[in-house]
With several copies, the nearest count.
Chain A
Amino acid sequence: MSDLFIYTLRLGDDALIAAQRTAEWIAAAPQLEEDVALGNIGLDQLGQARSLLQYAGTVEGAGRTEDDLAYFRDERDFLNAQLTELPNGDFARSMAKLLYFATYQHLLYEELRSSSDETLAGVAGKAVKEVAYHVDHATQWVLRLGDGTEESHARMQAGLQEMWPYTAELFATDDLVQRLDAAVDPSTLEEEWLRRVTEVIDASTCERPTSAYQHSGGREGRHTEHFGYLLAELQHVARSHPGAKW
């Protein structure tokens, strides 16, 4: 497996699994406007996933399509960060997750626009505008919930805290990103991410979380116990009809 293939899968799996979770809010959001907004965000994430997985298939050169990669890989072959697979929890937890993830994606795609790999640069160029909206949407909610009522403040603080131990993984560097010219080394984004996220959290009147422990493993296919259930749902119909077209 080439570095470029693995790197592209990491990005694609992040987007795919994030989309799967975001879509769980549709028809369950706190208000109709939010069903629409989260529908948009999920669609953006899914669109990014499709472009990236399709490209991963091309890079691999074994004839696998976006669907082969999404529906016919096993749990340990998915390379998304664990943050993306966590259950949504309440709306505050979901907005904390989106703030952390979209801010990361935004910084990443900004850099990736000048990747030496033209396809990745192209995907990033389109996606960067989308995720700027995601960041904005999450920011607005973190502010409203953090500085809303006593209950919403407590929930927002809990959400920020609960997702925090899954953020370091987004910025973990490794040999692959260091040697792959087309890649962005995510460790170079962490400082600016922290600055931006802190600014939002401060403005929301919440406190910036701390954590003695940071989870890791997603980039090597080690996931949380939640992930297997997500995959079972995602893949069951496709796996039940191997070879079928839809």
Chain B
Amino acid sequence: MDSFQATIDADGRIEPRDAMPEGYRKTLIRQIAQHAHSEIIGMQPEGNWISRAPSLRRKAILMAKVQDEAGHGLYLYAAAETLGVDRADLLDMLHEGRQKYSSIFNYPTLTWADIGAIGWLVDGAAIVNQVPLCRCSYGPYARAMVRVCKEESFHQRQGFEILHTLCNGTDAQKAMAQDALNRWWWPSLMMFGPPDASSTHSEQSMAWGIKRHSNDELRQRFVDMTVPQADVLGIRVPDDGLTYDEQTGHYSFTQPDFTELYEVVKGNGPCNQERLAHRVKAHEDGAWVREAAAAYAAKQALKKETAA
């Protein structure tokens, strides 16, 4: 354990074979699993628009994006498995509601502009959250995050581009873009978690090099990055309290209603039930397929053995 602390102190990487405190391992499993679950649940709100994407080019981009999310899920589950857990068990925990996923995905996608808003705001917020994780003390997680962040910054640009096209389109398209920003702004701010004053877990995670910045720092960074982009789009961030402070170079902004966040985390959001039900159905409907694959593999192995 001395070597663990020394590695952390030297800002080095902990690898799967290294000794680590049980708390560190558990915290990481919880966080990586939650992150993986978020990727695969996050496929649903966007997948909802693949069949209806209004141009073939956008359809292709959206399919590729949702597919990337499945890919991110795969690397993240693989990173979690290096800590001695099984993907199947993690999925069971998700399906039984014993592990969470990001609450942002409990909001519905109501128009095509939501696909733009999710790319721009949700992927944007995810990047702000995740870029520091590329330097996370746990090696496999940090390496997975490098790959994830690279793809997400691509998705973020695509989302911005969708909105940019809408904002330069018909009146109906521009209204659609504004409406999407109105609905997604506050949930996006909540993606950074509760205010620092009421955030649990944070201190220990900081000490372990799992977390690098506080929730409020990251939220500020996101607002500072996003508001000028809204100006470029020509749509208005739905916050009457938003002002730019020339001196600090930061925006001050209204905090979101965190009681809503707590409610959604508890299961009381518009799509909590649908998202989980969809996921469980896909898993259960696929059970016979996975069993067949396992049975076939076993038969093939046996054939090889008896042939040998």
- Which of A27, A53, A148, A155 contacts B44 (CB under 8 A)? A27
Say if the beta carbon of A134 comes within 8 Å of chain B.
no
How many chain-A residues does the 8 Å CB contact rule pick out? 63
Interface membership of B179, Cβ < 8 A: yes
Whether A148 contacts B293 by the Cβ 8 Å rule is yes
Asked whether, in the complex, the Cβ of B282 is within 8 Å of the Cβ of A27, the reply is: yes
In the complex, chain A residues whose CB is within 8 Å of the CB of B209: none
Please state if A223 and B110 are interface contacts (CB–CB under 8 Å): yes
Interface of A is mostly: helix
Asked whether, in the complex, the Cβ of B47 is within 8 Å of the Cβ of A27, the reply is: yes
Given A43-B64, A50-B56, A234-B52; A32-B73 close (CB under 8 Å)? yes
- Asked if B248 CB lies within 8 Å of chain A CBs, one says no
Assess whether B170 is interfacial by the CB under 8 Å rule: yes
In contact, A147 and B299 (Cβ under 8 angstroms): yes
Within 8 A of B (CB), among A188-230: 212-213, 215, 217, 222-225, 227-228
Q: How far is the CB of A43 from chain B (nearest CB, A)?
A: 5
Q: How far is the CA of A28 from the CA of B282 in the complex (A)?
A: 5
The winner among A74, A152, A223, A224 for most chain B CB atoms within 10 A is: A152
Q: Chain B residues near A238 (CB, 8 Å)?
A: 54-55
The contact of A225 among B166, B271, B291, by CB within 8 Å, is B271
Q: How far apart sit A29 and B233, CA to CA, in the bound complex (Å)?
A: 36
In the complex, A185 has a CB within 8 A of chain B: no
Residues of A within 8 A of B290 (CB): 30-31
Contacts A31-B286, A74-B172, A228-B52; is A26 near B47 (CB within 8 Å)?
yes
Q: Using a CB-CB cutoff of 8 Å, which residues 98-129 of chain B contact chain A? A: 108-112
Are the C-beta atoms of B60 and A148 separated by less than 8 Å? no
Contact bitstring A140-181, B, C-beta under 8 A = 1, else 0 = 000111011101100100000000000000000000000000
A43 touches B286 (CB 8 A): no
* A246:B165 contact, CB within 8 angstroms: yes
The answer on a CB contact under 8 Å between A145 and B63 is no
In the complex, B253 has a CB within 8 A of chain A? no
**8 Å CB contact of B63 from A46, A70, A149, A212:** A46
Question: Quick check: is B132 within 8 A (CB to CB) of the other chain?
Answer: no
Q: Is B66 an interface residue (CB 8 A)?
A: yes
Q: In the complex, how many angstroms separate the beta carbon of A94 from the nearest chain B beta carbon? A: 10
Residues of A within 8 A of B154 (CB): none
Q: Does B74 lie within 8 Å of A36, measured CB to CB?
A: yes
From 44 to 60 in chain B, residues with beta carbon under 8 angstroms from any chain A beta carbon are 44-45, 47-48, 50-60
Interface residues of A (CB under 8 A from B): 16, 20, 23-24, 26-36, 39-40, 42-43, 46-47, 49-50, 53, 66-67, 70-71, 74-76, 90-91, 143-145, 147-149, 151-152, 155, 212-213, 215, 217, 222-225, 227-228, 232-234, 236-238, 241, 243-246
Additional A-B contact list (10), CB under 8 Å, known A30-B285, A43-B67, A246-B165:
A67-B56, A149-B288, A212-B266, A225-B274, A233-B51, A234-B51, A234-B52, A241-B170, A245-B165, A245-B169
**Which residues of B does A touch, CB under 8 Å?**
40, 43-45, 47-48, 50-60, 63-64, 66-67, 70-71, 73-74, 77, 108-112, 162, 165-166, 169-170, 172-173, 176, 179, 183, 263, 266-272, 274, 278, 281-282, 285-297, 299
A-B contacts, 28 of them at CB < 8 A, read A23-B59, A23-B63, A26-B50, A26-B66, A27-B40, A27-B43, A28-B282, A31-B286, A31-B290, A35-B43, A39-B63, A46-B60, A50-B57, A74-B111, A91-B286, A148-B296, A149-B292, A155-B288, A213-B268, A223-B110, A225-B45, A227-B110, A232-B52, A233-B51, A233-B52, A234-B52, A246-B57, A246-B162
